[in-house]
Amino acid sequence: MKLKETKLGKWFRDKSPDVLEAIGELVPGGELLKALGVLIDKSTESEEEKEKARVLLLELANADRASARNREVEVTKAFGKRDYMQMFVGIAAMSIGIVLVAWAKSGVEDKEIFFHILGFAEGTLVGQVVNYYFGSSQK
């Protein structure tokens, strides 16, 4: 669903049509939700209007979070069995974490490489798996 098709899109159409024209075709999610918060603050002076728009923004963020959970439900319904890819990704992320801890305990000679790999594993692998299930695309 594009931003212009949402309640927040209607708010921007009424309060700041130039902004809607610029971003109306975008799909809300991730970093766009943060940017929308800034645009809300710049689009109106009224605190009451800002609060209304922030409520609409929260609704978009909640819908974004629910979409990941709904995907899992729909995949299970469609195939009639559990999606083992999710289990595989979880096991892989946990295995990488265990290997990194074991590597650190054994005495890392090149600490700079270790910290780069640790940052990748923590920030990308584990972080994305956790955010998929418990967060939204917004960081």
User: pLDDT tens, 7-39?
Assistant: 878 887 887 777 777 777 666 666 676 777 777
pLDDT at 133: 65
pLDDT at 136: 53
**The pLDDT of residue 46 is above 70:** yes
The pTM for the full model equals 0.43
User: What is the torsional sign of CA 113, 118, 121, 122?
Assistant: negative
User: pLDDT tens, 96-116?
Assistant: 878 887 877 787 778 788 888
pLDDT at 139: 47
The residues near 110 (Cβ < 8 Å, ≥ 6 apart) are none
The residues near 49 (Cβ < 8 Å, ≥ 6 apart) are 15
